[in-house]
Amino acid sequence: MSAKVRLQICKGKNAGRIFSFTEHDTFIFGRMADCHACMPDDNQVSRHHFILEANPPQACLRDLGSLNGTWVNGTKCGAREKDESPEQGAKRRYPEVGLKDGDHIKVGQTELEVSIEQPKEAPQHRVDAGLGNISLLSPEQLGRLIFGISPGSQDSKSPAARSRRKSVAVDMALFTVLDGGRRETWLP
Q: What is the pLDDT of residue 11?
A: 94
Closest Cα to residue 16, out of 110, 101, 116, 118?
Answer: 110
- Per-block mean pLDDT, blocks of 10 residues, the chain (188 long): 91 92 92 91 92 93 93 94 88 90 96 92 52 58 60 56 50 45 44
Helices (H), the chain: 86-91, 139-147, 159-178
Residue of 74, 66, 56 lying closest to 28 (CA atoms): 66
**pLDDT for res 164:** 53
Give the pLDDT of residue 93: 83
pLDDT of residue 178: 46
Determine the 3-state secondary structure of 40 from DSSP.
coil
Q: 94-117: per-residue pLDDT in tens?
A: 889 999 999 999 999 999 999 999
pLDDT digits (tens, 9 = 90+) for 16-41: 999 999 999 999 999 999 999 898 98
pLDDT at 92: 85
Q: What is the pLDDT of residue 63?
A: 93
CA distance 32 to 104: 22
- At a CB cut-off of 8 Å and minimum separation 6, what does 108 contact? 12, 39, 42, 43, 44, 45, 49, 68
Residues 6+ apart with CB under 8 A from 104: 10, 72, 73, 74, 111, 112, 113, 114
Q: Give the whole-angstrom CA distance, residue 6 versus residue 13.
A: 18
Q: Is the peptide bond before 56 cis (omega within 30 degrees of 0)?
A: no
Q: Distance between CA 41 and CA 17 in Å, rounded?
A: 16
Residues in the chain: 188
pLDDT for position 59 = 94
Angle 139-147/159-178 helices, nearest 10 degrees?
Answer: 120
Q: Which residues does residue 112 pair with via DSSP β-bridges, in sequence order?
A: 9, 105
Q: Give the number of other CB atoms < 10 A from CB of residue 96.
A: 14
